[in-house]
Chain A
Amino acid sequence: MPGAKEAVVLALALALLFLPACGGSSQRQAEKLQQQVASWEATARLTRELAQERALPKQYTRQVLEAAQEGLDQARQQAANSK
């Protein structure tokens, strides 16, 4: 079929471009979880800093800190499950 070969080549080229992203190894997963934990810890830190400067209402501060706690719990749970 004309064009079919080109389509296959294009699909392969695209797959190669994206392949580094799908390593899927346990090391990559661990790195990702570590990143997640660091991200939520930094979120909580920034929130506390801004709350101390009275830049955030208490209602909202509570919501972000709860979200951060949920994010941390989830990451730790995933880490425990993958061991």
Chain B
Amino acid sequence: MSKLLEIALGLVTGIGGFLEAGSLATSAQAGAAFGFQLAWAIALGTICIAFLVEMAGRLAAVSKHTLPDAMRERFGIRFFTVPLVAVVLVSFLVLASELGGVALALQLATGIKFQWWAPVAALAVWLLLWAHNFSLVEKGASLLGLVTLVFAVAAFKLHVPLNELGAHLLPSLPRQEGAKYWFMAVSIIGASVSPYLFYFYSAGAVEDHWDEDYLGVNRIIAGLGMGFGGTVAVAVLAGAAMVFHSRGIQIDRYEQIPLQLAQPLGHWGFILFVASLGIACFGAALEIALQIAYLVAQGFGWKWGENLHPKDAARFSLVYTVAILLAGLLIFTGIDPLKLTIFSMALTALSLPVTVVPLLIIMNDPMYLGENGNHWIANAAVLFISLLACIVAIVAIPLQIVGS
């Protein structure tokens, strides 16, 4: 495949795959509660994920190792268990949130309660993974995910004041509700820096047989793809600020969020919101279910690969089957999908050092990267953002739980 096509597909994946239940819910809730004030959290998260995705791709291209594979080899199975458990747990909650998002989209379209759609959504995700190959799963979901660009169109139609929005790309202290502000900030960073994004990316690069010739492609995809994706998330926040914050509306339920698109775009706004939520969450659910299976299979050295027939990678297929089943059951219990999503994202931020620090160590190890090791700027940026998000999460999560 030509490099140009690879870049185009990578950018589509970055844009179409960035927005999912987590970034949609956290950005909309933050925009409604604090106006443009939390735009910096999206910017910080986007910078961090761009670095991490670039690193994961570089590791795969140079060393031909996926991330879990390299971690287990470098640190041994005993240490590897720590990030394994953390990422699987967080990813499971995020998977449930995404299935909840799909079920909610179906509820908005039909009026039938989301719980009843949870088994349908879970079955559809499982069937697609069982029956189709990796390329179709990744590229199909991302291509359809471009529908989320409608948030940028809505922000344009709402005449978002770009100067004011730009001024909030730098962090600022809250004017009120400190605990909620910081909780929202870590949730946004957690949503942007979901470990599944870079774990999945490294597995994809290995499945696509990347080599050192792909380092440039990788850099462009990571920088531009994540950058555009982050811009769409900022558009969600800006739209929510314009429609909800100005009217004193806070987002307590998913049902409120479609108004953000219906106000500037009318009937099509509602339809496109339902499509965006359903497609984005469905695509993310596919990727997260696969990523959980990749992580466990690669970590324990089992045969893995979405392009393999399930009977040829039975344990790999069993892992995603069980993950989808349990996540579907969790949504079927009727748990509030919005609360689950926001909480999962905050937990993701809390777990960042566990998932990110081992990657940084590997990325500075000449045994894996040779001369392509990390620059100090990448190390410093990722370490700073991850530790900051984790420390703030340690304080903000208990305060938010007690406060609400």
Residues of A at under 8 Å CB distance from B? 10-11, 14-15, 17-22, 24, 35-36, 38-40, 42-43, 45-47, 50, 53-57, 59-60, 62-64, 67, 71
Contacts and interface: CB of A to CB of B under 8 A. Distances in A.
Contact of B248 (A22, A39, A56): A39
B172 interface: no
A53 B264 CA distance: 12
B399 A56 contact: no
B385 interface: no
Interface of B: 107-111, 177-182, 243, 247-250, 252-253, 255-256, 258-259, 262-263, 266-267, 269-270, 391-392, 395-396, 399, 402-403
Contacts of B258: 56, 60
Contacts of B392: 14
B97 to A, nearest CB: 19
B270 A55 contact: yes
Pick the most buried of A21, A59, A63: most chain B CB atoms within 10 A of its CB.
A21
B249 A43 contact: yes
Given A14-B391, A18-B178, A60-B258, A46 B263 contact: yes
A18 B263 contact: no
- Mostly helix, strand, loop or mixed at chain B's interface? helix
B391 A64 contact: no
B320 to A, nearest CB: 32
A63 B247 contact: no
B179 to A, nearest CB: 3
Contacts of A24: 403
6 contacts: A10-B391, A20-B178, A21-B177, A43-B256, A56-B267, A57-B267
Given A46-B249, A67-B255, A21 B179 contact: yes
Nearest to A57: B270
A2 B255 CA distance: 51
A67 B256 contact: yes
Contacts of B396: 18
B269 A22 contact: no
A71 B254 CA distance: 13
A-B residue pairs, 10 tightest by C-beta: A21-B179, A21-B178, A59-B111, A55-B266, A39-B250, A67-B255, A42-B247, A42-B249, A55-B262, A14-B395
Given A22-B402, A22-B403, A46-B263, A15 B179 contact: no
Contact of A22 (B108, B179, B391): B179
A55 B111 CA distance: 17
Given A14-B391, A18-B395, A21-B399, A71 B263 contact: no
B403 A60 contact: no
Pick the most buried of B243, B258, B259, B270: most chain A CB atoms within 10 A of its CB.
B259
A47 B255 CA distance: 11
A58 to B, nearest CB: 9
Contacts of A47: 259
Contacts of B269: 55
B64 to A, nearest CB: 39
A43 B259 contact: yes
A38 B177 CA distance: 17
Contacts of A62: 111
Given A42-B247, A64-B259, A15 B395 contact: yes
Given A18-B182, A42-B249, A50 B402 contact: no
Nearest to A51: B262
